[in-house]
Amino acid sequence: MPRFCARFALWFAFALLVCAPTSLHISSLLIGSEEIDVWNHAWGYWYVADALSKGYFPLKTLLVGAPEGGTLYYIDSLGAFVASPITLLFGPAVAYNLTLLTRIALSALAAQYLCEELSKPGIHSWIAGVAYASTPFLLCELANGISEVCATQWIAWTMWALARVLKRGTLKDWMILGVLQGITTTATFYYGLTSALLIVPAVVFSLIKRFIKGAQFSRQFLIAPLSALVGLAVLLPHGWAFWESIHSDDRLVLRDTTLNDQLLRHNAVDPAIFITPGHYQSVDLLEQYGEPFIHTAYLRWSVILLVLLTITRGHRGWFFLGVLSLTFGMGSYLWVDGGWFLINDQMLSLPFDWLRQVLPQIAITHPLRLSIAAQAIFAALSGVGILHIKRLLNPSFQIHTVWIFTILIAAEGLFGSSAKWPLPAASAEIPKLYEQSDTRAVLDLPAEVGTTMKTSRYFWMQTKHQSPIPYTPDVRVGSARDFLLFKNFIGGDGISEDPRELSSKLQKHLKRSYGLIVLHGELDSEMAKRYEEIFTPLLGPPVKEDLLSYWVLPKWDRQQKNQLVSQKDLSPCEDVPRNLSKMGQISSEASKPLFNELLSCSSQTAKACMMQGLKEDTSTAEALLCAKVLRKEPQSNDIEVLIHLLRRNEQVVRMEVIQAIKKRQLSPDHRQRLERFYREERIPDLKRQLQGFIPPSAPK
């Protein structure tokens, strides 16, 4: 244990360097870019700790999705649970940053132990730790602020346990493997799935070898299922909570299990991402989608060359496991140089697609994360490669060699990849004005700023005011759950934010439901000005504080309560957006009456579909209804919505969409996009229908 603690202390110091200078200001800054995911991930540490301090499991909440709230499982719950004492004592910023620093340190330590398990203790194992703690994959995810994906230590510890099982296979080794597999899956399903996909073939091959040699086959064969049961037992509490959060009728995050064309392209992985240095991206998300995410799995040539040296001497089985992880990490179909690799006009299916078909109800939409095991394995093998080099050198040159490779590997990760260093940071400071909130909800506006996630900071503000907010974790004007109010903020195209004057009914609703309204001019000054023009006649001039404008609303007179209209009292056609979303939260049988009623008011429903139809989490029932009403009630520029719906997997939806598109005037660009659908279509009936959009001169 003293040796473990000493090593951890050194690796924690290394983590401080990796995250410098933010690591020197852990109470006032957050590790991660303010434009992306850091806000709602850091918020989750407060959300979990707050629930635990009040004596309940953080699953049902009224704090998010006001006024009704719902079921919400925080995706990095394991980290938030462990850090909850720190959160309660020092605040969520300190807890969040310390968790990330600890994860970097433990990742390095795990890779070091894995390297020693594959070789022997020695200075060469420190190379493995440096390689894994500075991998471009981890650096990019730290910048993206996706904290659960930064829990890379667990996959490395699980591979370490697997190495012990394959080498010795004691009962203790098997139990440790089960526990670590359960923890890895709890930390993030992607990593648990990755480790399971590698453990199974490794164990099966090991059992076959033992059977042939007659070496404790029966004992190992009986212990293996027990290890799996231990893993399931560890996973059970959080696994149940996660399952409940995606199947509950009042879930606040809707996860689409279909894999449409846009999502496939958005998360496509070019094999070149593993070996191409510099700022290479499989898909440039900023250029193509306006999203400033940066993802990479660059292995670094300084590591690759050491791995190649290692497998000339042995460890080919571990190399195969690493390659298997990379194969799963390439996604459902082979993507090369910005497009699908086609054979006879058909996309080439990869093992990840076969996996999706086995697990159709699990929304595994980020395949690159499945390559993480390769990062851990290759980091460990690079350390073994240094050991082989050391044996060829004069002892006086060995320490210099280790230092040279340490600098090369770390420098290639920090400066030779897509990762940005120093890592970006976001301010954890929250304006004091939020202390003026009461038990009513807080309304932060504007609801969105382009395609960035800047408005997710409204979740972080909640860690101070602790009042409900109308938004769900994907803060957008269309994802807010106060449908009565926000339908007044959505433009006629059903997509853009376009606030309008409030009716008398909405004015009463606003005053009753919200105690504090804050306009963020620092995010979008023009949109903030438009909201100010709407609210000032109703609430008077706002208080100005730098680029912020806000109103503290007086307590609502309870005698006027009966004059208000509850959202629950409205008919489906009076509150189409809310009821359209509701269809995705109830069973198909129960949604039929609602489906028919919304279909009867197709004019209003078509307008709502202009927004709903573009959402990634749209249910099958919503998509089919939108296709039908848009076929019946064409809207301005609805061709974009229809083409988006055409990317779905459900044949009945796509057929309805094709019939609607037939009534539209198509531009050359639209025909070109439809031609791509035609070439990638596999269902004969749909392919024949799509053929009508293809110009006669185009090759069929």
Query: Residue 89, Cβ neighbours under 10 Å: how many?
Result: 10
pLDDT tens, residue by residue, 84-143: 999 999 999 999 999 999 999 999 999 999 999 999 999 999 999 999 999 999 999 999
pLDDT tens, residue by residue, 583-616: 766 666 767 888 888 888 888 888 778 766 556 6
CA 106 to chain centre: 22
Distances (CA, A) of 539 to 172, 477, 531, 567: 67, 22, 12, 23
Which of 505-521 are b and which e, b meaning 16 or more Cβ less than 10 Å from the residue's Cβ? ebebbbbbbbbbbbbbb
Asked which of 306-310, 335-339, 637-641 is least confident by mean pLDDT, the reply is 637-641
**Can you give the pTM of this predicted structure?**
0.82
Alpha-carbon Rg for the chain, nearest whole angstrom, is 27
Q: How far apart are alpha carbons 353 and 465 in whole angstroms? A: 45
Predicted local distance difference test score (pLDDT) of residue 120? 94
Asked which of 67-76, 202-211, 617-626, 658-667 is least confident by mean pLDDT, the reply is 617-626
Print the SS3 string covering 19-66: CCCHHHCCCCEEECCCCCCHHHHHHHHHHHHHHHHCCCCCCEECCCCC
- Residue 576: which pLDDT band, with cuts at 50, 70 and 90? confident
Predicted local distance difference test score (pLDDT) of residue 642? 86
Predicted local distance difference test score (pLDDT) of residue 328? 95
Q: Judge whether 180 and 161 are in contact, CB under 8 Å.
A: yes
Backbone phi and psi for residue 573, each to the nearest 5 degrees, phi listed first: -75, -15
Residue that is written with structure tokens 């659908």 in the block? 677
Quick one: tokens of 344?
A: 């006879």
Asked which of 431-440, 569-578, 655-664, 665-674 is least confident by mean pLDDT, the reply is 569-578
Question: Percentage of residues in the chain with pLDDT exceeding 90?
Answer: 61
pLDDT tens, residue by residue, 290-330: 888 999 999 999 999 999 999 999 999 999 999 999 999 99
Residues, the chain = 700
- Residue 532: which pLDDT band, with cuts at 50, 70 and 90? very high
Name the residue ranges covered by the structural domains of the chain: 1-151+257-416, 430-561, 579-690
Print the SS3 string covering 84-99: HHHHHHHCHHHHHHHH
Predicted local distance difference test score (pLDDT) of residue 46? 98
Q: How far apart are alpha carbons 279 and 593 in whole angstroms? A: 52
Name the residue with higher pLDDT: 395 or 659: 659
Name the residue with higher pLDDT: 687 or 57: 57
Backbone phi and psi for residue 565, each to the nearest 5 degrees, phi listed first: -105, 120
DSSP code at position 372:
H
Predicted local distance difference test score (pLDDT) of residue 257? 53
Backbone phi and psi for residue 336, each to the nearest 5 degrees, phi listed first: -135, 125
Kindly report whether the peptide bond that precedes residue 237 is cis, defined as omega within 30 degrees of 0. Answer: no
Quick one: tokens of 471?
A: 């938004």
